[in-house]
Every structure is written in C-alpha cells, then in structure tokens.
Chain A
Amino acid sequence: MFGDDVDEGDVLVSLCDLKTYYGEDSLLSDDPVKAVDGVSFDIHKGETLGLVGESGCGKTTLGRTLIQLEDATAGEVRIGDTDVTTLTGDDLQRWRRNSQMVFQDPESSLNDRMTVGAIIREPLDVHDWKTPRERRARVRELLDTVGLSEEHYYRYPHQFSGGQRQRVGIARALALEPEFVVLDEPVSALDVSVQAQILNLLNRLQDEFGLTYLFIAHDLSVVRHICDRVAVMYLGNVMELGPTERLFQQPQNPYTHALLSAIPEPDPTADSDRITLTGSPPSPRDPPAGCPFATRCPMKIRPPEYDSVDTEVWARVEMLREVLRERSNADRSLTERAREILGLSSRFSSADEVHDELFADVTLPAAVEDHIEEAMDHVRNDNETRARAQLREAFGSVCDEERPKSHVVDDESGTSRCHRHRDEHDEPSRSQVVSE
C-alpha cells in the first residue's frame, strides 16, 4: 500500500507545482480555464489540512485532482516515491482505494435507487474485497462506526435526514480503510446543530483510524474548529498557508485579511473593522499577469510618485481599470458584434458615463487626471487595449507585473504570497487599509 511506512506528522502527500486546466484540448476553445495554477504544499500524515477560498477559486478541482478524479495538466502529486498523476491501471486503482472523497451534497451523492447497505458496500464490490459475507458484515460494522444502526441497512436514502445521509457518505468513504480522505464541503448543506454532530464524528474517526484529511470548505468558522493547518486559495493559487490559530489571529496575506474580516461574528457588540472587497474575482481564463489578487487588493503597492494620493481617489482609479478589464472579458453576442461593425451602437458609448460616475465627486490630482484623460481618449477611439495598457503603465506596480513568490512568514514554515513581504516594501498590515 501507499504510504504505509510514513509516521504520524511526516509528509504523506506532496504537491509540486500542480496545475489543472480545463478545456485546453478542445478544438474550439479559447484560453483554458486555469482552475489550479501552480500549487505546491505538503500534507502531513494524521493532520487535517483546511482548504478555503471563494467559489471558483479551484479548491474542489484541487481536491479532485489529488485523488485522480481529474487529470493534472502539469506538476506532481507525490506520495513517497510515486507520482500519482502518472499512475495507470492497477496502481491507480490501488491509490484510489487508499484515497477517498466525501461530497458536499448528500442529496445528490447517494443513489436514490440503492439501499444504504448497497451504497456502502459498492466500493467493497468494486475492489473485490474479501467474500460477500464479509462485505455485509463490514457494512454493518461501518454503519455502527458512523453512528447509524444495523436496521438502516435495507433503507433508502430518501428515508434519511441530511445529517444521516452525510453519515452514509462518510461510511462509504471509509469502507476500504483509506489513509487519506478529501472532504469536499461535508457540512455546508447541513443545519448548524447537525453540522456540529458531523464535525464531532469526523474528529472521532480521525483519532480512531489515524486518517489524514484535506478539508475543503468556505465556512471559515468550521475550518478554524477542525483544521490543524489552513491553505487559503484564490484564483487557482495558494495565497497563504499556515497553522490555523496563527493564520486566524495574525493573517499575513492581504487576501486572508479580507476573507477573515468578512465573516459575520455571532456577537452583535463586536466592532467590525471589515475590509469589504470590491468586485468579484477575475475570470480564471484570463488571470491577472501579476499577483492574482492585484485587481481587488486593498493593500496593493502603488508607484512611489502616487503614494500621497487620497485612498478614495486611488480606489476609483483602480475601479476604472477594473471596469475596462471586465469589458474586455465580456462575451459579446453575434448581434452585438454585427451592430458594432455596422456602427449602429458601440459598447464604448457608455464609457463616459462610467467616467463621470467614478470621478464626478472627487478632485483628481493633475498628474492622475492627465493619464486618465489620455486613456479615455483611447477608449473613445475604440482602442480599449491601448487604454488599458496606458493606465497600466501609468499606475501599475510590481503587483500588476510579477507573480509574487512564496515567503516564509512564521516559525512553523507557514507561507504567504505577497510582494509586500519583500524587504523593500512595508509588510502587509491593516494600517495600510484606510476604511471608508
């Protein structure tokens, strides 16, 4: 078996520059969707590693790639000396036996036409585990392990509540005694009281069977409760990874800051010093050339000559860049294109409105205004690419141009990707965010 000789706390699975792209092999495709775009980290035996991020950041794809439900485009998933991404045939089947997945939605991940017993027995059948009699006995044992009872063997999923179904999903994942389990949002669909039951169950099972979890979630309070270390993903990249408490108390990456501050606290007296991010993540088809988070980062490095520009004004300038960026990505229908070619309408006609909307109530410093006027002229001349390039040249910084490296940010080799960790810049901190 894989990883049998690994001690508690040693590296079990090691990801090395892992990339998973979708849609690049199709004839008609544009740029591929870069769902996972160069991720490297280790998962230690016996730990629970949390993987958090907004929807579309690639966390589920990463989990699925790990257990080879998706093919990696490049990079390695190493377990001991084996690269899992290259496995085929019997070897691949052995790895799959050893790594299992629990899915988010217990409504759709269980076949409604099979009895619960058959569902849990299926992996045993597929892998031809022992004799049928022993399989049935194993299923009964599993039902008991996850807090269901033997009498549930012949029932159907629709007779169960959400929490019970998720227990069935967990029993199925544990059937072949895996070492490594990917939990993809296992409690997101459950009510808070049921969620607590499932989290307790997962903790107990981990202790009992020495399991290693990759826990994918977007609910940060759940992650804080159950995980030993947490990796924060954004647009296919791991922005920060570190021990849970350090990460929650002293987040080092601007994205982690923002993400954590967005959690509503169950305490009405709490002061919220929230950083509200504007906009939404860029398309993974066309990620920013520099730092993935640059388009929304409230702590983005400015060119030195604009350091004194008012934060609000600067935010508007960035917003103009974002609007132009988004327009270039917007799908245009054939009729729209035709109308444009015929000169019947132009999608740029509203550019002046955007400009007015953004800058009507602020006074721009002369240096800034000149650049913006120049860019607006390009837009009016239907040359949006020029406009974007021009703004980028004028207001861009290292954040727009270079992908940040991973910097070690704590004693436990936690890492964070941000240009501000470099010596010549100030460390990212809250003080750089001026709230509205």
Chain B
Amino acid sequence: MSAEAPLLAVENLRTEFYTDKETVRAVDDVNFRIERGETLGIVGESGSGKSVTARSIMGLVESPGNVLPESSIRLDGEELTEKSESEYRGIRGSEVTMVFQDPLTSLNPVYTVGNQLKETLRLHRDLDGQTLTDTAIGLLEDVGIPDAARRISEYPHEFSGGMQQRAVIALALACDPELLICDEPTTALDVTIQAQILELLAEIQVERDIGIMFITHDMGVIAEVADRVAVMYAGEIVESAPVRSLYSDPAHPYTNGLLDSIPGNQPGGRELTTIEGEVPIPNGAATHCRFAPRCPKAFEECYELAPEPLPTTAGKDDHTAACLLFPEDMKREDAVDEHRAANTEGTDE
C-alpha cells in the first residue's frame, strides 16, 4: 500500500499561535505532497508561514503554538500528527531532518564537529568504535569537506561559513533520512558558496533519492533547485505549479508581484515595481482574499469571498492558484461561483 503513497502528504495543515490579544493562524489550511527524488520549493516573504510549515512537519511547534487536530501529515503513509513526543524523537533526525539558515545555531560550539556527528550516529544508528569514526569521516567526505580525517576533530568556529553548512548537511544526512527540509540553507552564505551548497544538495538528492522541501525567499534559488513550487502568503499557499510553469505563466497577482520586484529582471528601467504595503497577520478565518488590500487587480468580490486553490485553466490540475481571477478561461462571474462552490464544499467536510 505504501508503495503508492507519496513520501510526504500534508493535508489541511493548520498551525495556530495563541497570544493574549488574538489567535494567529500562521499556517492556514495548507495542502501539498512531496515524492521521492523531488524538490518542492516554498517561497514567500517573511511572515508568510514557510518556516512554521516546516516546524509543523518536524513536530517542533511548541506552546503557545498548536497544530490543530484536523491536520494530517503523512510520511510514507504514516500519520505523524498522532505521534507522541518520544515517538517523534525517533523520526526526527532519522527519517526527516532539517537544515537551518544559520549553521552556527545547529552546531554546538563546545563540541567538535566529529563529536556531534558521532552522537547522532550513536543515537540513531547504534554504531560504536572505529566504525563510528569511519562513518563520521565518510559523511564529512560525502559533503565535500577536504581533509576530513583531520577536520573531524575541529570545532565549528574553525570552519568557514560554507564548511559549517556542509557539516550541518552531513549531520542531517547521518541517518539516511527520506525527507530533508532545508529552511533558507544558503541565505547566510555568499553567492559563490551558495552555488557550492546547491550543487551539493542536488548531488545528494540524486545519490540517495530523497525528497527535499526547500524554503527560501530567493526566486533565483527556487528556479534552480525546485521541481515544483508553492508560493505562500499570509499562511496560505496561493499558487502551486511545476517550476517552469510558474515562471513562464505566473498566475496569482502576488507571484507576479514577487517576480516583478526582482531588480535584475527589469533591465534599463530605473523604477522598480513594488508591492505596496506589508504581509498582514492572519488572525482569524479567511473571510476574503488576504492579498486583496495589496492587489492591483482586486475587485469587489475579492473582499467578500475567500478564494480556493483551483486550476489556472480548466483541466490543468498541476497548476493551481487561489485567486478569483482563475480559472482564467472562465467568465469572471463563473470563476467566482466556482470558488464559492469550492468554499462551501470545504466547510461541509
């Protein structure tokens, strides 16, 4: 049965944070899946819910945050949301691992890199003695750290930024995970080093046939690494498409805005296109399109009806947009009705 199941299936994921004033829906009804050997890119501005999505999958959402019970996260067909903390601990670090933006926050400064690698291997793979050391050295070599036998006894601060991130990737790979979540893994690095790390991740993926969820705000990086892309805005996925289709036919006005505000994309012109205003805080159920106040194409219904992810043109199921302008081959009123229908369907469930 599990041969048919995707590596990761996220359905109706909703993660809320409770504050004194309000309930923030950091992730609000997010659905996606990742196959083996596939990279799903997730883009969006700060505050769009990308990282909380990742943390929800890793079971790292802590109070005052909460993954709501109707959410479903299935890894290899196995439901993760029902796991206890101790069961989760067995999954985290072995089946699903994560690479964070700043390598120094993932590495302990008072232990050598080798020490930390060995700890992971000992806990999850039950190795010891010379095998343990050899495996650790092998891992560092796999991620392209030269002179690994010597560097294994060095401390994180003795590594350069790129090398630190390689070490973190080695840690993440230590237990042969099936899914690797990368949260802005190259944002803190220089472009030349970023290029090295992206190349490394691509190699690792081919070698090990793992699924990668790659979170970034950089549209250039996404174009390079992702097979499919989900664009997030205020806790929701507003557009989802294969990478080529997203860049050649961006549908959602927000995606268009993001692509247009990249400086290199507009040669000659002095004035850059901007998206006015800022990402709102999703502090309640979506009663209308959350992007509408900033949207250049917004019309009356946008303020009354929350759009559902529908195909951008009829039958094109792999490219969806949550915008009342789509499906674009329909008359606007019909498209709006379509969203309204999908909306009530969702609430009936």
Question: Which A residues contact B (CB, under 8 angstroms)?
Answer: 54-55, 161-163, 191-197, 199-200, 203, 218, 220-222, 224-226, 258-259, 261-270, 272, 274, 276-280, 319, 322-323, 326-327, 330-331, 347, 350, 353-354, 357
Contacts and interface: CB of A to CB of B under 8 A. Distances in A.
B46 A221 contact: no
Nearest to B261: A196
B221 A54 contact: no
B192 interface: yes
List the 6 closest A-B pairs by CB distance, nearest first.
A221-B264, A225-B263, A264-B220, A196-B272, A196-B261, A350-B149
- Among A277, A280, A330, A357, the most chain B Cβ lie within 10 Å of the Cβ of A280
B292 to A, nearest CB: 16
Nearest to A319: B146
Given A55-B190, A193-B257, A200 B224 contact: no
A350 B147 contact: yes
A192 B261 contact: yes
Given A265-B223, A267-B247, A221 B274 contact: no
A280 B258 contact: no
Interface stretch (B125-133, B158-166, B298-306): B158-166
Contacts of B147: 323, 326-327, 350, 354
B259 A266 contact: yes
B52 to A, nearest CB: 16
B218 interface: yes
A276 B258 contact: no
Contacts of A161: 278
A270 B222 CA distance: 13
Contact of A224 (B198, B264, B276): B264
Nearest to A296: B192
B261 A262 contact: no
Given A191-B45, A220-B191, A259-B192, A268 B278 contact: no
A203 B270 contact: yes
16 contacts: A54-B191, A54-B193, A55-B190, A191-B217, A192-B45, A192-B219, A197-B272, A264-B221, A265-B220, A266-B222, A266-B262, A268-B223, A268-B244, A322-B146, A327-B150, A350-B149
Contacts of A258: 192
Contacts of A268: 223-224, 226, 243-244, 247
Nearest to A192: B261
A263 B247 CA distance: 17
B275 interface: yes
A319 to B, nearest CB: 7
A263 B199 CA distance: 13
A262 B194 contact: yes
A258 to B, nearest CB: 6
Contact of A323 (B146, B154, B161, B219): B146
A199 B163 CA distance: 33
- Among B195, B218, B222, the most chain A Cβ lie within 10 Å of the Cβ of B195
B263 to A, nearest CB: 4
B2 interface: no
Contacts of B193: 54, 280
A192 B158 contact: no
A54 B190 CA distance: 6
A291 to B, nearest CB: 17
Nearest to A195: B261
B271 interface: yes
B266 interface: yes
Given A196-B272, A199-B272, A264-B224, A218 B263 contact: no
Contact of A263 (B46, B191, B244, B270): B191
B141 interface: yes
B287 interface: no
Interface in B184-198: 190-196, 198
Contact of B190 (A195, A218, A267, A323): A218
A226 B263 contact: yes
B253 to A, nearest CB: 12
Interface string B188-220: 001111111011000000000000000001111
A195 B190 CA distance: 18
Contacts of A276: 192, 195-196, 199
A82 to B, nearest CB: 33
Contact of A221 (B196, B217, B262, B276): B262
A232 to B, nearest CB: 12
Contacts of A280: 160-163, 193
Contacts of A218: 190-191
- Among B192, B193, B266, the most chain A Cβ lie within 10 Å of the Cβ of B192
Contact of A225 (B46, B150, B158, B272): B272
Contact of B198 (A162, A197, A264, A265): A264
B214 to A, nearest CB: 12
Contact of A196 (B162, B192, B274): B274
Contacts of B198: 264
Interface in B105-141: 141
Contacts of B162: 280
B319 to A, nearest CB: 14
B275 A272 contact: no
